[in-house]
Structure 1
Amino acid sequence: MATHDIVLRGGLVFDGSGAEPREMDVTVDGGTISHLGKVSGKGREEIDARGQIVTPGFVDIHTHYDGQATWGSEISPSSLHGITSVVMGNCGVGFAPCRTQDHDRLIRLMEGVEDIPFPVLAEGLPWAWESFPDYLDFLGEREFDVDMAAQLPHAALRVFVMGDRGANREEATAAEIAEMARLAREAVMAGAIGFSTSRTLNHRTSDGQPTPTLTASEAELTGIAMGLAEAGRGVLQFVSDFNDPQKEAAMLRRIVEASGRPLSVSLAQADVAPDSWRMLLGAIEQAADDGLPMAAQVAPRPVGVLLGLELTLNIFSAHPVFREISDLPFAEKVSRLNQPVFRARLLADEPVTDNPFLKVMLRSFGKMFQLSDPVDYEPGPERTIEAIAARRGVSNEAAALDLMLENDGRGMLYLPFLNYSQGSLEPIRAMMESPVSLPGLSDGGAHVGMICDGSFTTTMLTHWGRDRTRGPRLPLEYLIHRQTQKTARWMGLNDRGLIAPGYRADLNVIDLTNLKLHLPQVQYDLPAGGRRLMQRASGYTATILAGQVTFRDGTPTGAKPGRLLRGAQAAPMRAMAAE
């Protein structure tokens, strides 16, 4: 007779604490981990984990599934990569609170900031809410293949309280700040896990307007943080250009000093100032040394735009000649690009755009690469489009066009625009090794036609833990700890991220030797037939959420035990007693 719900047999268990792995069995009963060690009893389901690794389910703290969670139950691509808990509502954008007259305004903001097309959101969003507690109540009735936690987005909050004045970035009055603080307190009391905001010019509406939160005052930000302080719960998440890193780091420190709430900020290397991240990281490390809860969210690979004929952008997007065919069906577009006369016209054309960033980006052939199988996110200089063109004796544009036309017109180019200024991931390694850094910034669910980074966890295991040749690797136990217990505890999800009796049975069985990240592909499964990039992996033997197997060999089982997480989650009583 079966004595356990599930038994994982003989795997090399990385428990999430950072300790060295041990070979053992793991039992699951009633949705929690019940025993570690040698198990003689049988499970209703037995999973042979011999020769494989067993990890806690991964916790991704930086996603944008705010819309997808309202119409879908499969939170992919994240759920395909061992992730069992996600935090959405980052970067100050989301869909609640929102009045009826502001629906389109928030859609345009999400369309511009996160590259999710207007028709997708207009058709997909049910808008069955106005307040943030209403939004949580709606999500609370839904089922998912991961657990979901939501943050209160500043842009939606600001527009809700200030209307057009908020959207136009006017300064908030004392009364408006007090109302935002009240609503922030209400949101976290209802189950929001935190509050997020954006201060970057990269975040714009689809019609080019900066995000409503760009120039919000320190008084406004502090006031909202004090709303969380009054509730005694919730984290703060910031993204900024950090044009004056010392000044902004000092402001963030003052906000944490005043509110006592944990604050994380996005940290990346920018080409315009490739060493400024060091100052910001140093300021956060000093704050942490002084006892302040501050952290830096960092990515395990470059943040890179994918360029292709089926995607939002390709290297000819700003060319008048290309615009002649840009609206044609895909197959016809590819056919025209293969015609010698049209090809010659296109290659002789020049980009026309008033967007200097776009013009430079689409001509950065010296740091643009072909994305090929096996996927390599730390390519060397010999693999640039510029180097390929030189070897072929053709122009950069001709080489890029030929590469995009591969695979029946679905070839992709990869342009790292953050974290690759010197063509190496050594700066990322330094960020990842900092005690104040957290793995994040995957943006799962966003940038659906340009970026596909919901697969960060697989890169973490394969590139950093197994394959890297252009520099030192990192210990698997360290990498897994960061993506499980460390991210979980930062968000207050103290019931998960550790393989120990009493903890949530969120688990992965991974064939690390054969773990492989596949090339991104385009699929048309969003509302209104919308397009999105999807990246899969092989090697995830099983993913378990709340004691139910949700994926076997990368294929969904149909189980949807995932639910909305309302705020922080307490550590198991057994664990607290043991401590």
Structure 2
Amino acid sequence: MYDLVIANGNVVDGTGAARVRADIAIANGVIERIDPSIDRGKARRVIDAMGKIVAPGVIDPHTHYDAQVHWDPYCTNSSWHGNTTVVVGNCGFGFMPCRPQDRERYMLMMENTEQVPMPAMREALPWTWESFPEWMAHMKRLHKGVNLAAYMPLNSLMMYVMGVEGAKTRRATVAERARMRDLLHEAMDAGAIGFGLSHLGEFNSHKDIDFSPMPSDTMFAEDAVFLAGVLRERGEGVIQCLAQLNSVNNSFLVEELARASGRPVVHNVINAVDSNPRYHLDIMSWLDRVHAEGLDIYSQALVQRGWVEFNVTYIDTLWQNVEPFTEFSLHVGPEAKAAIAKDEGFRQRARERYDPDMMFGAGGPVETHRLADAKGSRFAQFENMLVSEIAQATGSAPIDVLFDIVAETNAMADFRTTAAVSEDPVKLGEILDHDRVLLGTSDGGAHVKFSAGGQYATDMIMWMAREEQRISLERLHNLLSSKVADVFGFNDRGSLVEGKAADLYIYDFEHITYDRDRYEVLFDLPGNEFRRVCRAEGIDWVVVNGEPIFRSGRSTGAMPGRMITNSIHGAAFSEAAE
């Protein structure tokens, strides 16, 4: 008997092969057979996928669901959009290893850098672990709707061994290096897939509670390179390194990590910059050069159409590195922000310091922000207009318009960015065509009060495949699933092939979409905290390890998710949650 048969689907298997009309038979979480005609009488359940695309579940290598999975076992938004496996521990952030006395500090770190709400973490995290293996054991017991894999986060490792201040101010001693090496080996033995870090110096928007850089951003490169040797010793694992943005390029460290480890290194991030047309081309040329030198480096793409939707109370992490908003960010809470917005001395400094060209990493120039909700103020007549248009209508400078609205609404007006990322399909098509590019930079689980990114696969299908026709579905699903699985060593999943895990989703190619105008606001976090979400339309089923978890966006209640471990300690679909 089969547990499930997906019948009559147009199967895009993720390998790059042409789609075929076929049935898929599933038993014990594994694809048993793919054939044009399977005896459905042998199936306990049949899903008719006539006219629909059946594709491998999306694998997102860059998320921050480390906390959210404890209150949202499906890791939404991502799973609504066909994501069946997510990777946590990115950019060096996570909760393991952690001494009991440092738990509050780690949660503050996650709140300030990734905007995961502190009240939700305090209520939901059980803190039944100290070491990475203890965390992994906890995660295996945790009921999950999707699969998770985890890096060892370097900020956590450094603070555990060197102390918070030591990790942020000095190089590791010989003894501390050895201790970190041993703990990384221990984590890899327990199933870590490698380690993750950011290394952007002062330029990273990831800042500590005192606005100073996080440890890995200013760590001595030699300490990271030393740890890369662990992966060479083991012959397994992958490294994630956020080393380049439009304002800074520390990709030298990515090269050194690849040389020292002999393993794949995922460089963050490649994206298109409208004001700098050569930006992505230069990264692609660099990828070609290092590949010719024998270095196994990939760049992770940020190519989906995304935006930030915010009131200024929750936007500090995007603005704190850009004048005049550095000063503005020091004033915490809506009353304090409204007060500084009214201060004429600050307003004069803001006019003098504001430079639209410096706003690329902060959601785009103020002029391009749209007033989404004026909260009943006198600016309500200008809702849905750009700040530049309001400035023209009122005869004010755009920066004055912004702070006038903040002052009038007690810092509670909602804005929506319209130029946070490039939406040039030509540039993005060039990125997608490069062999050393990986898809998946959702940041899922992070920045939940002003953005959502789990819809990136849906956006690529509806935009680049259907509307622009710049990429075939066969190529796209290879990028969304199989290629990521190959690079990360997830050998048991990522494509619809007999013998692999039955992670897949079924959608209507002509009607798959999402709301491109506004996010939905849900008050569904612990402590009644809110988040912004983006639901999928046109996705009929999402299946994880052979069990449907969503039908037309509604949860089935199934919890078939697993911890996906590194290639040597793998066999993930034998694991069961207690």
Name the TM-score, length of structure 1 as normaliser: 0.82
Deviation (angstroms), 1:261: 1.7
- 2:217 partner SS: coil
Q: What is the alpha-carbon distance in structure 2 between the residues aligned to residue 560 and residue 569 of structure 1?
A: 25
Task: Give the letter aligned to residue 286 of structure 2.
Answer: A
Shift of 1:219: 1.4
- Kindly tell me: are residues 411 and 39 of structure 1, through their superposed partners in 2, closer, same or farther at Cα, counting changes over 3 Å? farther
Picking from 231, 234, 256, the partner of 2:237 is 234
* Alignment partner, residue 326 of structure 1: 334
Shift of 1:27: 1.6
Q: 2:262 is matched with which residue?
A: 260
The one-character-per-residue Cα deviations of 1:135-173 (angstroms, maximum 9, x if unpaired) are 111111012110111110000000001003434231112
2:308 and 2:363 in contact (8 A); partners too: no
The residue number in structure 2 matching 1:378 is none
Shift of 1:276: 3.9
In structure 2, the residue matched to 1:380 is none
2:134 paired with 1:134:
yes
Q: List runs of 5+ in structure 2 lacking aligned partners.
A: 374-383, 572-578
Match of 1:85 in 2: 85
Alpha-carbon deviation of 1:531? 1.8
Aligned to 2:493: 496
Shift of 1:300: 2.4
The alignment yields a C-alpha RMSD, in angstroms, of 3.8
CA distance in 2, matches of 1:61, 1:558: 25
Distance 1:431 1:311 in 2: 32
Amino acid at match of 1:130: E
The one of 220, 244, 252 aligned to 2:223: 220
In structure 2, the partner of 1:24 is 22
Report the Cα offset of residue 302 of structure 1: 4.9
Q: Give the C-alpha shift of residue 521 in structure 1.
A: 1.3
Greater CA drift, 280-289 or 347-356: 347-356
User: Which stretch has the larger CA shift, 266-275 or 252-261?
Assistant: 266-275
Give 1:258 shift.
2.2
Q: Which 10-residue stretch deviates more, 250-259 or 11-20? A: 250-259
Residue 151 (structure 1) aligns with: 151
Q: How far 1:254 sits from its partner (Å)? A: 2.8
Contact 1:16 1:55 (8 Å CA) reproduced = yes
- The answer to whether structure 1 residue 535 and structure 2 residue 534 are counterparts is yes
Alignment partners' CA distance in 1, 2:222 and 2:36? 57
Aligned CA distance change for structure 1 residues 28 and 182 (closer, same or farther; 3 Å): same
TM-superposition CA deviations, 1:470-508 (whole Å, max 9, x none): xx6211111111011001111111111111211111111
Q: Does 2:483 match 1:486?
A: yes
The alpha-carbon deviation at position 304 of structure 1 amounts to 3.6
Q: 1:40 to 1:180 in 2, by over 3 A?
A: closer
Q: Deviations over 1:76-96 (max 9, x none)?
A: 111111011111110001111
Matched ranges for 1:352-363 at <5 A: 361=362
Q: Could you say which residue in structure 1 is the equivalent of 2:513?
A: 516
Judged with a 3 Å threshold, the aligned counterparts in structure 2 of structure 1 residues 145 and 74 are, in CA distance, closer, same or farther, namely same
SS of the aligned residue for 2:530 comes to strand
Report the Cα offset of residue 286 of structure 1.
Answer: 2.2
Identity of aligned residues (%): 30
Q: 1:101 to 1:274 in 2, by over 3 A?
A: farther
CA contact (8 A) 1:503 1:571 kept: no
Q: Which runs of 5+ in 1 are unaligned?
A: 373-382, 573-579
1:245 Cα deviation after fit: 7.3
* 1: CA distance, partners of 2:488 / 2:85: 11
Q: CA deviation at 1:229?
A: 2.3
For the 8 Å contact 2:168–2:219, the answer to whether it is kept is no
CA separation of 1:233 and 1:123: change in aligned 2, threshold 3 A:
same
Give CA-to-partner distance per residue, 1:247-289, whole Å, 9 cap, x none: x434422321222121011123467866344333322222223
Q: State how far apart, in whole Å, the 2-side matches of 1:288 and 1:415 are.
A: 35
The residue identity in structure 2 corresponding to 1:265 is: H
The aligned residue for residue 365 of structure 2 is 364
Query: What secondary structure, in the 3-state scheme, does the structure 2 residue paired with 1:133 have?
Result: helix
Aligned in 2, Cα 1:26/1:392: closer, same or farther, shift over 3 Å?
Answer: farther
Are 1:111 and 1:117, in contact at CA under 8 Å, matched by a contact in 2? yes
Give the CA deviation at 1:180: 1.2
Q: Secondary structure at the match of 1:24?
A: strand
Contact 1:108 1:207 in 2 (8 A): no
Given that residues 161 and 180 in structure 2 are in contact (C-alpha distance below 8 angstroms), is that contact kept between their aligned partners in structure 1? Answer: yes
Distance in structure 2 (CA, Å) of the matches to 1:61 and 1:548: 22
Question: What letter matches 2:543 in structure 1?
Answer: I
| Separation (CA, whole Å) in 1 of partners of 2:36 and 2:217 | 56
Hey, what's the Cα distance between the residues in 2 that align with 1:112 and 1:57? 31
Secondary structure in structure 1 of the residue aligned to 2:236: coil
What does residue range 144-543 of structure 1 map to in structure 2 within 5 Å? 144-200=144-200, 201-241=204-244, 248-269=250-271, 275-302=278-305, 304-308=307-311, 312=315, 326=334, 350=347, 361=362, 364-369=365-370, 385=386, 388-389=389-390, 412-417=415-420, 419-420=421-422, 424-468=424-468, 473-518=470-515, 519-543=518-542
Aligned residues: 537
CA contact (8 A) 1:52 1:512 kept: yes
Map Cα deviations across residues 346-393 of structure 1 (whole Å, 9 max, x no partner): 999949789979995588244335789xxxxxxxxxx98156548967
> Helix, strand or coil for the counterpart of 1:128?
coil
Q: Distance in 1 between matches of 2:564 and 2:333?
A: 46
Task: Give how far 1:299 is off.
Answer: 1.6
Q: Partner letter of residue 4 of structure 1?
A: Y
Q: How does 1:3-152 map to 2 (within 5 A)?
A: 3-42=1-40, 43-152=43-152
| Cα contact 2:66–2:94 (8 A) shared by 1 | yes
